[in-house]
Structures are given as C-alpha cells and as structure tokens.
C-alpha cells in the first residue's frame, strides 16, 4: 500500500505489466475520471492478470463545485472495461454496509458491484 493519489503513484512505466492482480475495494468511484483509473489498472497488469473489484459507484466528486467528475453507470462501466481488453470471470452485485453500528436505528447500505476481470 502506498499513500498518495492513485494515478500519480501508479501510472509509472516501470510498473507497467508487472502486477499479477489488482484488488480495488470501495475505491474506483473516488476517481475524478474513472477512465483514467481503468487505463492505469490495465497498464499495470501482466497479460492474463486479474482485477478484482468490490464497492459501489457513489462518485465522490459528483456535484462538487469546480471539480470534474466522469460518472458511468455500472452497465456503462462494464462496456468500457470489456472494450479495453478485460474479459468477465465473475460479475455480481451485493447489498452491504460499509460502516454501521448494530445498535443504531440508522443503517446505510450500498449496492456493491463485485467482479473479477482478466486482462488478455
């Protein structure tokens, strides 16, 4: 794990094609432009490398004045992911809490996308 902005830290030609697997958990929706995250993940993976994702698409920058935000629906995202060279291994959705107090009357739930993609 490395602290810093994902693109700045990992979009590094020395790391291209060196990763067997990348796992993103409650993460991909933190991008200003999710396409940049997808491109970086694709470049980092070895051929036949796997990307495992779990989390919602809340898009943290949506509606923030002065911030750009590219927001794709799950269907749109999956079309782009296939178009840049990933094949489907697993694709499901799950209802889950992120952080909740079992004693509370208020609980937030997320509809999370879980998928495993292989880069070919």
Q: Judge contact between 71 and 78, C-beta under 8 A.
A: no
Q: Could you say which DSSP state residue 13 is in? A: G
Domain boundaries, the chain: 15-51+59-93
pTM: 0.90
The model's pLDDT over 16-67, given as tens digits with 9 standing for 90+, comes to 999 999 999 999 999 999 999 999 999 999 999 999 999 999 999 998 999 9
Largest distance between two CA atoms of the chain: 49
**Residues 93-112 pLDDT 10s:** 999 988 788 888 888 889 99
Residue 101 contacts by C-beta under 8 Å, 6 or more apart in sequence? 107
């Amino acid at each position: 794990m490395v602290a810093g902005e994902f693109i700045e830290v990992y979009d590094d030609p020395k790391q291209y094609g060196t990763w067997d697997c990348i796992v993103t958990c409650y993460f991909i929706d933190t991008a200003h432009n999710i396409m940049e995250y997808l491109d970086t993940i694709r470049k980092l993976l070895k051929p036949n490398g796997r990307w495992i994702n779990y989390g919602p698409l809340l898009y943290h920058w949506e509606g923030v004045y002065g911030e750009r935000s590219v927001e794709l629906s799950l269907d749109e995202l999956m079309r782009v992911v296939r178009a840049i060279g990933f094949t489907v291994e697993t694709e499901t959705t799950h209802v889950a809490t992120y952080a909740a107090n079992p004693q509370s009357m208020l609980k937030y739930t997320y509809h999370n996308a879980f998928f495993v993609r292989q880069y070919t």
